[in-house]
Structure formats: C-alpha cells, structure tokens
Amino acid sequence: MTFRWVMGCVAALALALLTLPAGLTSSHVHAVPTENGALQEPVCDAEARPANFDFTLEDMNGNDFAFESLRGKVILLNFWATWCGPCKIEVPWLVEFADQYRDQGLAVLGLSIDDTADKIQDFAGEYDVNYPMLLGLDREDFQEAYGPIWGVPMTFFVDREGTICRTHAGIATREEFEKDIADLL
C-alpha cells in the first residue's frame, strides 16, 4: 500500500512539473555578431510579435482606455491580481518606473485578470498606484491577444514600433525590469 502512495506522489509531482512553462522568466534575447565581430544583444526576444492595439478596456474608475493611444510609446503591460503575492512585490517597482520614465515615453499599465473594480480601487489606494489599472475580468480576448497567460504576474514589454519584445512569466527582478526598460527606451 505504501508503495502505491509513493508512486502516486511521484507521478503527481512529475505531472505538475511538466505543466510548468519551460522558463518562468522568458527574456530570450540572443547576442548577434556585428560587422566588427563583437556581440550585440538585439532589443527584442527571438519570439517577438506584433502587439494588438485594437482594444478598448475599462479602467478601475469605469472610464474607457483605448490601447491605440499608446502607439509610439514603450509599454510595460503587467497582468496581475489583488490576491497575488509576487504581484504585491512588483507593484511598488512599477509605480516608481511610471514616475521615473514617464517623460521618456514609458507607459505602465496593470491589467487585473479576475478582480472587480472596487477591489482594484482598494488595492490601488493601498499601493499608491499612479498608472492605469484596467479590468480584465471576462476579457479573455485581450488575455489571448497578449498571452498565453500562464499565471500572474506576467509582464509584456512593447517597443515604440508596436512589437511585443520581451516577456516575464512569474516575478521578475527589479534589475531585469530596469534593463528591459532601458533597452527599449
């Protein structure tokens, strides 16, 4: 009987590990040789693809937010939830980035995947959020356009040309975010 329990636990653990994404942080930037032979990092990941700007979402205050208004900016799009522990670590950094880099053309956006406007408003007040917080509840179309979203937090960086250049699945370090911002600005 004990052998069956052990085998069942091993099988369950193996199945759980197989369902995780290959790399929780997926900045897959590969260095390329320049004319003089030096290696240079490209700005975008090898998996870069065009961002979809054909969305208007509601923000936490009930106002429409058109993604089209962000064309020409560097966008940090963070999928999150009020119950997410790692999200609570990242949000203060995002607040600082929104202040620090706004004048250089960075737009920080938060998209709550499953919270109501009142929960988001309470959270935004507690964390002094200074960037648009959008409602993603029942907006699987938007999540699919940028995803797949495997979990939260999940962050996408869009360059000024409208390309989803870099992605972080799971919590990223402050330094990783700062490097991505600097590279795209």
| Catalytic hit among 9, 44, 87, 165 | 87
Out of 9, 44, 84, 165, pick the active-site residue. Answer: 84
Residue 87 known to be catalytic: yes
9 belongs to the catalytic site: no
Distance (Å, whole) CA 157 – CA 78: 9
3-state SS track over the chain = CHHHHHHHHHHHHHHHHHHCCCCCEECCCCCEECCCCCEECCCCCCCCEECCCCCEEEECCCCEEEHHHHCCCEEEEEEECCCCHHHHHHHHHHHHHHHHHHHHCEEEEEEECCCCHHHHHHHHHHCCCCCCEEECCCCHHHHHHHCCCCCCCEEEEECCCCEEEEEEECCCCHHHHHHHHHHHC
Please give the positions annotated as active site.
Answer: 84, 87
